[in-house]
Amino acid sequence: MRWILLLVLPVSALAAGATRQDLAKILASKPDEARGEQLFEACAACHGADGAGTTPGSVPRIAGQHYRVLVRQLVDFRRGRRWDMQMEDVATSHEVIPELQDVADVAWYVSRMNRDGTRGIRDGAHVDRGAAIYAADCRSCHGAAGEGDDRREIPRLAGQHAGYLARQIYDAVDGRRPQLAQSHRKRFAALGFEEVLGLTDYLSRLGWQADATPAR
C-alpha cells in the first residue's frame, strides 16, 4: 500500500520532500572551510577567483552571500527546483560537489569571501525611482541596506550586478524560476521596464563605494 501511495504523489511534492531532507542534513553538518576552498577552484572558472561573477550579469556575484541562501540554491539546482543547465550540471556532478557535505563546505567558504570588488551598475538615470520602489515593496524583507537574512534564507541583494538582478526578475515573471515566481511574480509583473532598470541599478550600488562598471 505504501508504494502505491508514493506513486500517486505529485512529483513536485516528492522533490520538495527530498529538498527538505537534503537541507536538514547539510545544515546539521559542520562545514570545512579549507575543503570548501579546494572545491571552489572548480566554481572559479565561471564565478571568478574572487566570486565576483561578471559585471554584465551573465554570472552572479556569490562572494559574501548568506550561507543558508547558497545552500538552498545549490540544493534546488541538485533537485531540479531551479533551472540553469550549467549550474544543474555542476550541482549534480560527481567530480565537483558530489556529497551533501561538499555543499556545506563550498557554501560556507563562499559565504565568508570578501564582498568588495567591481560591480555591474547602470547609468543612474532611474536610480531614485528604484530606491522608492525598494523602500515600498522590498525593504521589509530584504532589509534597509539590502542585506538579506541568513536565518530566513533571504538573499543579500546589495552589490549584486544590475544585469543579473534584472534577468532574475524577468525569469520569475516568465516562470523560469518557479520558486521565485511563487513569492514575487505578481510584484515583479507590475514593474515597468524603467522601474526594473531603476530598482536593479539601486541595488547594485548599495553598500559599496569602490569603482563601478556600468552594465552593458
Residue holding cell 510584484? 187
Residue 201: closest CA among 159, 141, 143: 159
Q: What total of structural domains would you count in the chain?
A: 2
pTM of the prediction?
A: 0.89
Q: What's the pLDDT score for residue 16?
A: 79
Q: Which range has the worst mean pLDDT, 22-36, 87-101, 140-154?
A: 87-101
Radius of gyration of the CA atoms of the chain, in A: 18
Higher per-residue pLDDT: 115 or 59: 59
**Domain co-membership, 15 together with 69:** yes
Q: Give the mean pLDDT of 81-97.
A: 87
**Domain co-membership, 99 together with 142:** no
Average of per-residue pLDDT values in the chain: 90
Which of 111, 136, 157 delimits the end of a domain? 111
Whether pLDDT at 124 is above 60: yes
Q: What's the domain range around 162?
A: 119-214
**Domain co-membership, 74 together with 159:** no
C-alpha cell at 119: 560591480
Share of the chain above pLDDT 70, in %: 89
Residue 130: closest CA among 70, 192, 179: 192
**Domain co-membership, 7 together with 90:** yes
Return phi, psi of residue 46, to 5°: -105, -45
Q: What's the pLDDT score for residue 47?
A: 96
**Domain co-membership, 206 together with 137:** yes
**Domain co-membership, 67 together with 132:** no
**Domain co-membership, 7 together with 101:** yes
Q: What's the pLDDT score for residue 1?
A: 40
**Domain co-membership, 144 together with 44:** no
Residue 149's beta-bridge partner residues?
Answer: 154
Between CA 65 and CA 74, with CA 69 as vertex, the angle to 5 degrees is 105
Q: What CA–CA distance (Å, rounded) separates 162 from 1?
A: 52
